[in-house]
Structure formats: structure tokens, C-alpha cells
Amino acid sequence: MYYEPGGPDEPGQRSAAENIDMRRVTELSRAGAVYLGSDTTFIYCHPTCAHARRITPGHRVHFRTAQDAGEAGYRACKSCRPLAV
């Protein structure tokens, strides 16, 4: 998503409005998790997706690529629409 500098859609303002914990997103990124999946629904999302943020820690599965998620039997989220395989 593209944000205009200084505008109402500045990344910090948007993430705060959507309750996105940017520290957590940064931690996941550093750990190599580009996508988060739920082992109960077998759906994977972007870590910033509202659905991914609801996955309880014990059910989170980290994926580096959409292909990895697909090969593990997960399907792409229909809300955030990560790259489907």
C-alpha cells in the first residue's frame, strides 16, 4: 500500500488506527515470517491482516513464502489476499 508523506494515511497513523503492533510485525519479519497461518483453519495471511492478528500464539504457523504455505496445505486469506499459489 502506498502512503503519501504527511498525509492522513501515513503508515504510523494507519497502523495505529487498525491496531497493528508494528513491533510484532518487525519481530516476525526478522524471524523470516512473511506470512502467518492458522493450524486450525489452514488459511495464511499477511501478518498485518485482522484475521492473522487473531490467531492465538499456539496456533500460529510461520511461512517464508506463499508457495511454502500452499505446499503445507494452506489457502490464501480472502481478506488480505496474499499471493496465492
| Between 22 and 83, the higher pLDDT residue | 83
**Domain segments of the chain: what residues?**
11-76
Could you count the other beta carbons within 10 Å of the beta carbon of residue 74?
Answer: 22
User: Which of 64, 46, 66 is closest to 55 using CA atoms?
Assistant: 46
CATH topology of domain 11-76: DNA Methylphosphotriester Repair Domain (3.40.10)
User: Which of 18, 28, 85 is closest to 60 using CA atoms?
Assistant: 28
pLDDT of 3: 41
pLDDT in tens, 3-35: 445 445 555 555 555 566 677 766 766 666 789
pLDDT in tens, 30-50: 666 789 999 999 999 988 888
The answer on pLDDT for 82 being more than 60 is yes
Beta bridge partner(s), residue 38: 43, 60
The answer on pLDDT for 84 being more than 90 is no
